[in-house]
């Protein structure tokens, strides 16, 4: 018997048997001499049979015992009726899967009523008055939606509907002292007191409720203060082409504000003429530049960009001489325009590949001017060499991101830039012809105003080379004044200042600071 087991074992090894221990189960790979009975998955009793059809070979005692065990288990499973129980459980499980689940009946809450603001109603429940839309008259160089006013001069009629606007304007003009160019420049070159004394003076500035007024109906884009010392007159430009004049010290209430609409696009730049303070220059995003004459009570059109050219909107202006302006465009070019006649362009300067944000003449050396661009660069140019085919700038100040402004200090010693990388930078441009301007100060300042606020533009004190002002996003709301070395000299704060003043300017001759917000209100610290 032992000899026959040995023969069987050797034959099974040749047939690649996989074994697990001495007494474990064995598994055969099917051959032509073997047959396996399939397992019936629906019957709990499993049928196994193993037959070796070899000549002269019989089953061993172990294999016979295993076969008897299988038969015994089969009989026990049949007596216990395990197969029937399995079939019943499978049927119940199938029925549960088929029965749809019941949805929970959620209680629907009543809808919340809309607020009065969304219903366009006042706190008392009355409907809000409808806002007047901008006048649509002619095509714009910027967008087909923004349309221009008719070409030519426009009468200076108040949009507010004041019956006595002409008499009031004439009275304002008569009371304003005309400041000549020489007087203003002499004021700008004064060094003034030191920074310690200046801090004390700034600490005395206060904001009173009667010095807050809504000058224009929409977001403020530009402001300029009249240089007269005996009259506090402010010109403000807003998003939809309105220009407001505010007699700050007047006691007439709402009559102290006169509102006009010489443009239909954002008034990006507003300034009083340096040689005749009865004239106001306004540059609009609609591609036009006008001169408001307070003597004639007219808005004369002195320039209109070509509507056929792409990105030919006007962004900024700077007075270079008594009768000429430098006008920046959205296509990266700057035009030198004669103000005595319409569209008298004396020269075109290609300064950047894309939009020129600001342009300014050097205060003392007027052959130089500075430009800022969205192309992450500030350039200083020499007008005497711009007629060449490929003119080169005197120097280029590269920034990490696009800029919103770049301005010379009153004597041209420094230049301050406002960049979208949350930095204000001060450069020493005294020796810009020989050496590259170095950074005197790099100030961390949040310049991300978003789409609902006007962008910040740091502006120098008109009489000092060491102080500039800029709006702030910090809480509580404030206006920052920095020194040329980056030191924060003062923060203008008041309980009546509850909004961001994006546009901040100094008075040309007095220690007064104006701050304009995005709802058309102006705050006067004096």
For the residues 159-175, what does the mean pLDDT come to?
Answer: 62
Looking at residue 191, what is its pLDDT?
47
SS3 content of the chain, % helix, strand, coil (to 5): 15, 35, 50
CA distance 314 to 304: 9
**Percentage of the chain exceeding pLDDT 90:** 47
The per-residue pLDDT for 80 is 84
Res 493 pLDDT > 50: yes
- Of 35-44, 135-144, 155-164, 342-351, which one has max mean pLDDT? 342-351
Residue 178's pLDDT is 47
pLDDT at position 58 is: 73
CATH topology of domain 153-176+195-525: Methylamine Dehydrogenase; Chain H (2.130.10)
Higher pLDDT, 235 or 255: 235
**pLDDT higher than 50, residue 24:** no
The string of pLDDT tens digits covering residues 34-93 is: 443 333 433 443 444 444 444 455 788 898 899 899 999 888 888 888 878 888 888 777
- Tokens representing 464 are 């000092």
**pLDDT interval class at 311 (50, 70, 90):** confident
Residue 356, both tokens: 């020129």
pLDDT at residue 42, as a whole number: 39
Q: DSSP per residue over 289-345, as a string?
A: EEEEETTTTEEEEEEE--TTSTT--EEEEEEEETTEEEEEETTSEEEEEETTSTTEE
| pLDDT above 80 for 254 | no
- Residue 479 has a pLDDT of 96
pLDDT at 266 over 60: yes
CA 444/CA 178 separation, integer angstroms? 40
Question: Please, what is the end-to-end C-alpha distance for the chain in angstroms?
Answer: 123
Among candidates 4, 66, 297, which has minimal Cα distance to 173? 297
Quick count: other Cβ atoms within 10 Å of Cβ 106? Answer: 6
Q: What gap in Å lies between CA 29 and CA 36, rounded to an integer?
A: 10
pLDDT at 218: 93
pLDDT value, residue 50: 42
Q: What is the pLDDT of residue 10?
A: 54
The average confidence (pLDDT) of the chain is: 80
Whose structure tokens read 């295993």? 66
Tokens 């349309």: give the residue: 147
The mean pLDDT of 221-230, rounded to a whole number, is: 91
Q: Which of 38-52, 235-249, 342-356 has the highest mean pLDDT?
A: 235-249
Q: Which helix (H) or strand (E) holds 488?
A: strand 488-492
With 70 as the cut, is the pLDDT of residue 11 above it?
no
Looking at per-residue pLDDT, the higher value among 3 and 391 belongs to 391
Q: Note the pLDDT of residue 161.
A: 58
Least confident among 22-31, 99-108, 306-315: 22-31
pLDDT at 195: 82
DSSP states of 3-67 = HHHHHHHHHHHHTT-EE-SSSS-EEPPP-TT--BPPP-TTSSSPP--B----TT----HHHHHHH
Give the confidence band of 428 by pLDDT, cuts at 50, 70, 90: very high
Where b means 16+ CB within 10 Å and e means fewer, 173-210 reads beebeebeeeebeebbeeebeebeebeeebeebebeee
Rounded to a whole number of angstroms, the CA Rg of the chain reads 43
More confident residue, 35 or 254: 254
Selected residue with higher pLDDT from 192 and 33: 192
Which is more confident, 444 or 176?
444
Edge-to-edge strands, sheet with 467-471:
459-460, 467-471, 479-483, 488-492
Residues whose CB falls within 8 Å of the CB of residue 63, separated by 6 or more in sequence, listed in order? 50
Specify whether the CB–CB gap between 359 and 325 falls below 8 A. Answer: no
- In this predicted structure, the answer to whether residue 180 has a pLDDT above a threshold of 50 is no
The reported pLDDT for the residue numbered 219 is 95
For residues 426-451, average pLDDT:
92
Instruction: Judge whether residue 323 has pLDDT over 70.
Output: yes
Mean per-residue pLDDT, 220-234 = 91
Read off the pLDDT of each residue in 403-420 and give the average, rounded to a whole number.
95
Measured distance CA(358)–CA(407) in Å, rounded? 8
Quickly state the pLDDT bin for 188 (edges 50, 70, 90). very low
Domain boundaries, the chain: 153-176+195-525
Over residues 199-219, the pLDDT tens digits come to: 888 899 999 999 999 999 999
At 507, list the tokens.
């008075």
Which residue carries 């058309």 as its tokens? Answer: 520
pLDDT of the residue at 306: 83
Q: In the predicted model, what is the mean pLDDT of residues 421-427?
A: 95
Q: What is the pLDDT of residue 491?
A: 95
């Amino acid at each position: 018997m032992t000899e026959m087991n040995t023969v069987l074992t050797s034959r099974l090894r040749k047939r690649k048997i996989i074994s697990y221990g001495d007494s474990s189960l064995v598994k055969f790979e099917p051959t032509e001499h073997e047959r396996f009975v399939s397992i019936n998955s629906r019957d709990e009793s499993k049928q196994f049979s193993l037959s070796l059809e070899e000549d002269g070979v019989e089953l061993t005692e172990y294999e016979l015992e295993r076969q008897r065990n299988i038969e015994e288990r089969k009989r026990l499973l049949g007596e216990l009726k395990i197969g029937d129980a399995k079939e019943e459980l499978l049927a119940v499980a199938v029925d549960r899967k088929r029965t749809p689940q019941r949805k929970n009946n959620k209680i629907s809450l009543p809808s919340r009523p809309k607020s009065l603001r969304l219903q366009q109603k006042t706190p008392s429940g009355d409907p809000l008055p409808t806002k007047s839309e901008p006048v649509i008259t002619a095509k714009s160089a910027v967008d087909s939606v923004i349309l221009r006013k008719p070409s030519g001069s426009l009468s200076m009629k108040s949009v507010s509907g004041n019956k006595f606007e002409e008499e009031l304007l004439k009275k304002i003009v008569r009371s304003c002292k005309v400041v000549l160019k020489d007087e203003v420049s002499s004021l700008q070159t004064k060094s003034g007191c030191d920074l310690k004394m200046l801090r004390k003076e700034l600490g005395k500035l206060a904001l009173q409720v009667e010095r807050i007024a809504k000058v224009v109906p929409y977001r403020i884009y530009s402001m300029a203060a009249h240089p007269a010392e005996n009259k506090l007159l402010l010109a403000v430009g807003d998003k939809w082409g309105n220009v407001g004049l505010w007699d700050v010290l007047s006691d007439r209430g709402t009559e102290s504000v006169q509102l006009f609409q010489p443009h239909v696009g954002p008034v990006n730049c507003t300034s009083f003429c340096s040689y005749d303070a009865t004239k106001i220059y306004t540059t609009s995003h609609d591609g036009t530049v006008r001169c408001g004459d307070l003597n004639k009570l007219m808005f004369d059109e002195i320039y209109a960009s070509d509507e056929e050219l792409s990105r030919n909107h006007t962004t900024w202006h700077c007075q270079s001489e008594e009768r000429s302006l430098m006008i920046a465009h959205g296509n990266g070019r700057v035009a030198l325009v004669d103000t005595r006649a319409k569209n008298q362009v004396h020269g075109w300067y290609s300064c950047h590949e894309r939009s020129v944000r600001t342009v300014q003449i050097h205060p003392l050396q007027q052959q130089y001017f500075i430009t800022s661009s969205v192309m992450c660069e500030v350039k200083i140019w020499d007008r005497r060499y711009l007629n060449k085919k490929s003119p080169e700038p005197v120097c280029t100040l590269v920034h990490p991101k696009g800029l919103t402004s770049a301005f010379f200090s009153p004597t041209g010693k420094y230049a301050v830039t406002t960049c979208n990388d949350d930095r204000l930078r001060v450069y020493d441009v005294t020796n810009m012809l020989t050496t590259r301007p170095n950074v005197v100060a790099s100030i961390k300042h949040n310049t991300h105003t978003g789409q609902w606020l006007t962008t910040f533009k740091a502006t120098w004190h008109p009489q000092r080379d060491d102080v500039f002002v800029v709006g702030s996003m910090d809480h509580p709301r404030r206006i920052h004044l920095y020194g040329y070395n980056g030191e924060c000299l003062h923060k203008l704060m008041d309980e009546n200042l509850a909004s961001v003043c994006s546009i901040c300017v100094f008075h040309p001759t007095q220690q007064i600071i104006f701050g304009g917000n995005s709802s058309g209100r102006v705050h006067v610290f004096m």
